[in-house]
A and B are shown apart, each in its own frame.
Chain A
Amino acid sequence: MKVLVLGEHDGERLAKATRHAVAAARRLEAGPVEVLIAGGGGSGAVAEEAAGLEGVARVLHAEDACYEGGLAENLALLLARCMRDGGYGHLVAAASTFGKNVLPRVAALLGVGMVSEVQAIEGPDRFVRPIYAGNVLERVRMLDEVKVLTVRATAFDAVASGGEAAPVERIEGAGDAGLSRHVGLERSESERPELTAARVVVSGGRGLGSKENFERLIFGLADRLGAAVGASRAAVDAGFVPNDCQVGQTGKVVAPELYVAVGISGAIQHLAGMKDSKVIVAINKDEEAPIFEVADYGLVADLNEAVPELIEALGKE
């Protein structure tokens, strides 16, 4: 049996998340790994990019306007057909909002169960995944013949672009389901590294007090460290930053080399999104804050004094 990975892209570039999904697919050791790229006109370049990934045996490319915007209703029809007719035992995607939207629908069309947010693969049918906001891990064996899974990008190292490109095969689309239309995407613009891929993340919480203070201190520190900017849910709700900056159970899960939490108390919800970081630094004036229980280095201090001092000290490094 073969493994099919659903490729994620914006019409021009392959998402980095797909490189992690391919790594997980290889880890299954269940057969050759193939990638499906479905998109509108111009998505051929994305298919070529996927074909260059290490460990990819073949790329299927379906080009049709109905795949622009990545609508689940249309993609699920195509994926279900591929899975039924293509000799695949596994369907894999990254546990991004895209993967989470599409894969359960495919599983339902196939009449099989699904496993979400896999963080370890112990065999072709045995997986470990977090439950209860990452406070507990469960080991599950999937019983259906076809296994559908989303994987946590941070748990599998991204595959590189390899040597020889795999063949790209054009396939027919499965048609427009006629249920939905993509109206538009309002992108949160950022010059900084992508949150889930960054080596360093600087996150701010409610303790920053205002949007102006958040931008001055957190953006300032992030720029000094070449870091991505994250936030707690409280900071997002207070309007300091857009919600796609949110780190946590209901936001993004990150595992950078260095995570700096500023003015974040460390609610379970937030810890679920960052506790796998290699080194955690917490700056908080409340020495009882739960964030200090997971922090490798904690500084009990007023962030309005400590952060400018830190920015200055790093400038001298």
Chain B
Amino acid sequence: GMKVLVAVKRVVDYNVRVRVKADGSGVETSNVKMSMNPFDEIAVEEAVRWKEAGLATEVVVVSVGVRAAQEQLRQALALGADRGVLVEAGEVLEPLEVARVLAVLVEREGPRVVILGKQAIDDDANQTGQMLAGLLGWGQGTFASKVVFEGDEVEVVREVDGGLETVRLKLPAVITTDLRLNEPRYASLPNIMKAKRKPLEVVGLEELGVEVVRHREVEGVFEPPRRKGGVKVGSVAELVARLRDEAKVI
């Protein structure tokens, strides 16, 4: 049967208005609501649907990060994943390092598909899935809005700038999700209770034999320049006049 590996990330909830720390060293994350990255929820949903359709036999959900990311793994288990693995790291790792960790897990678990979100809404990098595919030497179906398995191949419809592109990949393959792939379900209370008894393994980076390398140094974060407050106009005629005479854009 087909085993599926899903990677999820713990991020600041998308409804939170983030604040830059006073010293500019980063973004305030203490006492802030944390959630599963929205694109990863779509990845979990898709994998669970494959299982429900009889395409996947086991869905293993993985997170690389701080110990508290177990919450997001439990959530994925409540949504239908079978088993969780947390690779505990003391800090947030860069995409290439996360990809290296995932590649080691892929060696250990032997999935036929790895599915991830196309990007995390904190670092907005959009790199990890492509990097993992590169490290593994697998095909990649990024920004997927439709996925169809056919024998030893998978057909992926991708959301690209000019429209929709279809590619065919040999399995095993890496897929990253775009927003329109599916609509994730909510976890029911019984499933949340059941998820507490599902296996959740915690391993350290050293157990996996991964030594973290740094590729970047964040010198500081800051708020973008604010737009000046504008004016409210009273009528369409005034709007047209201001666009013509004041802003000179029409």
Contact with B along A83-107 (1 / 0, CB 8 A): 0000000000000111011111111
Interface contact B161-A244, CB-CB below 8 Å: yes
Known pairs A71-B167, A139-B218; A108 contacts B130 (CB<8 A): yes
CB closest chain-A residue, reference B131: A108
Residues in B whose Cβ lies below 8 Å from that of A135: 17-18, 223-224
Contacting pair A132 B27 (CB below 8 A): yes
Q: A67 to nearest B CB, angstroms?
A: 14
B215 touching A105 by the CB < 8 A rule?
no
Whether, in the assembled complex, A225 has its beta carbon less than 8 Å from a beta carbon of chain B, the answer is yes
Decide: A132 and B239 in contact? CB cutoff 8 A: no
Which residues of A lie under 8 Å from residue B163 when comparing CB positions?
185-188, 242, 244
Q: What size tier do the contact residues of chain A reach?
A: 35 or more
Find B143's partner among A101, A116, A137, A280 (CB 8 Å cutoff).
Answer: A101
Inter-chain CA distance A134–B96, complex, in Å, is 22
A72 engages B130 (CB within 8 Å) = yes
Interface string of A101-136 (1 = CB under 8 A from B): 111111111011111110000000010001111111
Residues on A facing B (Cβ under 8 Å): 10, 69, 71-73, 76, 96-98, 100-109, 111-117, 126, 130-144, 177-188, 196, 200, 225, 233, 237, 242-244, 249-250, 252, 257-258, 268-269, 275, 278-281, 287, 292-301, 306, 309-310, 313-314, 317
- B166 contacts A184, C-beta separation under 8 Å: yes
Distance (whole angstroms) from the CB of A201 to the closest CB of chain B: 12
Smallest CB gap from A71: residue in B: B167
Q: Are B215 and A182 in contact (CB under 8 A)?
A: no
| A139 vs B158: C-alpha distance when bound (angstroms) | 31
Does the CB pair B224–A134 fall under 8 Å?
yes
B232 at the interface (CB under 8 A from A): yes
Q: Give every chain A residue within 8 A of B96 (Cβ-Cβ).
A: 107-108, 111-114
- B1-53 at interface with A (beta carbon < 8 Å): 12, 14, 17-18, 20, 27
Which B residues are CB-close (under 8 A) to A249?
121, 124
Q: List, in ascending order, chain A residues with CB within 8 A of B203's CB.
A: none
Shortest CB–CB separation between residue B134 and chain A, in angstroms?
3
A-B contact count (CB 8 A): 253
Q: Is B160 an interface residue (CB 8 A)?
A: yes
**From A69, A113, A132, A187, contact of B18 by CB (8 A):** A132
How many residues from B make CB contacts under 8 Å with A?
79
Which residues 206-250 of B sit at the A interface, judged by CB distance below 8 A?
A: 214-224, 227-233, 235-237, 239-240, 242-244, 247, 249-250
Residue contact B216 to A143, C-beta cutoff 8 Å: yes
Query: Which of B121, B216, B222 neighbours the largest number of chain A CB atoms within 10 Å of its CB?
Result: B216
Contact of B126 among A116, A275, A279 (CB under 8 A): A116
Q: A132-B122, A185-B160, A185-B164 are in contact. Are A258 and B219 (CB under 8 A)?
A: no
- 5 inter-chain pairs at a CB distance below 8 angstroms, sorted by A residue, are A100-B142, A130-B224, A187-B163, A281-B243, A287-B232
Per-residue 0/1 for B127-155: is the Cβ within 8 Å of any A Cβ (1 yes, 0 no)?
A: 11111111101111011010000000001
A183 B167 Cβ-Cβ under 8 A: yes
Contact of A258 among B135, B137, B250 (CB under 8 A): B250
Asked whether, in the complex, the Cβ of B250 is within 8 Å of the Cβ of A140, the reply is no
Q: Knowing A143-B217, A244-B159, say if A132 contacts B12 (CB, 8 Å).
A: yes
Q: Does B178 contact A (CB under 8 A)?
A: yes
